[in-house]
Amino acid sequence: MYMKFRFLFYFLFITSLLSAQKYATRSGKTSFIGSEQTFEQIKAINNVSTAIVDSSNGDIAILLFVSAFDFKIALMQEHFNENYMDSSVYPKANFVGNIQKFSLGELTEYEKNHKIIGVLTIRGIEKNVTINCQLNKVNDRLYLKADFSVLTSDFDIQVPKVVRNKISKEIKIKVDYELIEKL
């Protein structure tokens, strides 16, 4: 029952975004670093993140497939998907929220700081988050950048003792989206 309600909520939210003037991308860049400085860097990039921003009120929805994160070392990617993220069970991560004090008319080519408040869902676990971001607008494109961190413990990501001192408890996430105006 919960899954049906959740699906209905996301469907209605996305549908409402589609009916308003929006900015969207299917090639957003989401990356993370999850290693301690003393270890070989655990770093991955997902270049197919989907994001939609409702330009009338600042509502935002982001969806990405966990298995689309690309690592330089194939074994790291395999461990990430199978042992830490369980991407076969939890294939998607998403964020639904609102860009506070958003006004499309006030955006210029110069970056302006905003806060985004919403719910981040990873491994089926929802967490309320506040993210600082930078927004700017050039012609028909909206640019969104953000750097924030999440704790592995917040999303029940189990790190084995043998690598606990190599994998950071705080994962640094960076987003860099170029959203195009959709009429």
Would you give the distance in Å from CA 38 to the centre of its chain? 27
Average pLDDT, the chain: 89
Average pLDDT rounded to a whole number, residues 124-151: 96
| pLDDT, tens digit (0-9, with 9 covering 90-100), for 65-85 | 999 999 999 999 999 999 899
Residue 139 CA to residue 122 CA, distance in Å, equals 34
What total of structural domains would you count in the chain?
1
Residue 149, pLDDT > 80, answer yes
Burial class (CB in 10 A: 0-12, 13-18, 19+), 80: buried
> In terms of residue numbers, what domain contains 34?
2-182
Compute the chain's Rg from CA coordinates. 17
| pLDDT, tens digit (0-9, with 9 covering 90-100), for 84-99 | 999 999 999 999 999 9
Q: HEC profile for 98-153? A: EECCCCHHHCCCCCEEEEEEEEEEECCEEEEEEEEEEEEEECCEEEEEEEEEEEHH
| pLDDT, tens digit (0-9, with 9 covering 90-100), for 2-48 | 555 555 555 555 555 455 689 999 999 999 998 867 667 889 999 99
In the chain the first and final C-alpha atoms are separated, in Å, by: 35
Residue 128 CA to residue 136 CA, distance in Å, equals 25
CATH number at residue 113: 2.40.128.110
